[in-house]
Structure 1
Amino acid sequence: MRRLTLYARSRQVPASLATVVIGAVLVWALTRGGDEGPGDPRLHVLVLGAGAVAASIGLSGQDLALDRTAAIRWVPRRTAHVLFAAAVTGAVPLAVPAVGGAVTGAADGGADGAVLTAEFVEFVIRDSAGLMGLAALGAALSGGHYAWTLPFGWLAFSFVAPPPTSTPAEVGAWMMLPPGTPAATWTAIALTVAGTTAYAVAGPRR
């Protein structure tokens, strides 16, 4: 338990977690009463994207040489770190309706006593996993300090991209598409696997 605590502190996990929660609440509060309809995914994607960016802070430690020492089994630790961050990032928007209203405009029930649907849960799992895969890939390619650039850049592109009319366009707009869309699902899976594997094996770039 002590080792886990030390690891969490070295990776700024408490600060990242607080940022994820605060970011979700702020986004919900600032957009409350806006024009987003029940099927508008932008608010949910923004919350998940902000969570992935905040969680990416901990993808590198304070000592990059330690991140490459053979004395520590880094592969399972890094894999668990990415998957745990994805789970927490996805859990926050699922929990916010229970404590404050409705981050889940796509859920049944609206702002009063929102009831989560299986489709919304699938949407959150897909996007949180894919976004954290992007963050992990960013850490492997550019280092922990710049791990946020890939999820942030793809998120920004998704907000301005026109409605997709082809499979490549669906791949580009994957995080905005409804759950069950094959191109979006497979893109998220590919990003999760590729990002997690690259980060677990190579670690954060110097």
Structure 2
Amino acid sequence: MRWAILYARSRQLPAAFAALLVATFGLWFLGRDSWGTLLVVLTLAAGIAVAAIGLSGQDPDLDRTAARPWPVRRFAHLTLIGVATGALVLGVQHLGTPIVDLSIIVRDAAGLAGLAGLAATAAGGQFGWTLPLAWCAIAPFVPDDDSTGARITAWMLQPPATTAATWTAAVLALTGAATYAAWGGRR
């Protein structure tokens, strides 16, 4: 199990987990009286953003020459970010009265984790936070009409039964996980 400890330390997982806890509980504390979908999305995006900073190690050449295959570790790391963030948000929301539907949290956590994987692959692990936060910053300002484009652009704020939002999150999650697992963070 020594490799798991070394991997966790090289990816700053203890610091990322601490930052994830602070971001999740801090945002819940600030918005506990008005907890709703927008705050859940903001909390998920912030949590995934702080955890995604460790999606690449300090030495990309060392990562590429490891004796054990990296795709499984990369996929597990990205999945762990999405699951841990979603579970924390799900747990934190039970501290107050208003509850956001579980399917929204799962859908948004998966899609945002996929965005982090895409950003890490395109720009490097240290920039894994950019796409989740950028999309989260744009989504609330999309006009609230019933067009497919608006539903896709604001997928994280849509109700649970919105097909366009579910497909958008699924495509982002699968594409992000596949590209990050195959190629890892850019140099």
1:160 partnered with 2:141: yes
Q: 1:197 aligns with which of 169, 178, 183?
A: 178
Q: 1:147 aligns with which of 111, 116, 128?
A: 128
Q: What's the CA shift string for 1:1-56, capped at 9, x where partnerless?
A: 2111111111111111111111111111112334x5xxx41011011011110111
* Structure 2: stretches of 5+ with no match in the other structure: none
* Structure 1: stretches of 5+ with no match in the other structure: 108-119
* Equivalent residues of 2:52, 2:125 under 8 A apart: yes
* Structure showing the higher helix proportion among its residues: 2
Q: Which residue of 2 aligns with 1:88?
A: 84
Q: Which residue of 2 aligns with 1:62?
A: 58
Cα distance in 2, alignment partners of residues 121 and 10 from structure 1: 32
Q: Which residue of 1 aligns with 2:15?
A: 15
Q: Which residue of 2 aligns with 1:181?
A: 162
The aligned length equals 187
Cα distance in 2, alignment partners of residues 83 and 28 from structure 1: 23
- What TM-score does the superposition give when structure 2 sets the normalisation length? 0.94
Cα distance in 2, alignment partners of residues 48 and 33 from structure 1: 18
1:77 partnered with 2:73: yes
* Equivalent residues of 1:139, 1:203 under 8 A apart: yes
Cα distance in 1, alignment partners of residues 93 and 133 from structure 2: 25
Cα distance in 1, alignment partners of residues 140 and 151 from structure 2: 13
SS of 2:99's equivalent? coil
| Fraction of identical pairs, as percent | 47
Q: Which residue of 2 aligns with 1:51?
A: 47
Aligned-pair Cα RMSD in Å: 1.5
Residue identity opposite 1:46 in structure 2: L
Cα distance in 1, alignment partners of residues 78 and 91 from structure 2: 20
Q: Which residue of 1 aligns with 2:3?
A: 3
Offset at residue 70 of structure 1 (A): 5.4
* Equivalent residues of 2:56, 2:185 under 8 A apart: yes
Greater mean alpha carbon deviation, residues 129-138 or residues 57-66 = 57-66
SS of 2:24's equivalent? helix
**Runs of at least 4 residues of structure 1 off by over 4 A?**
none
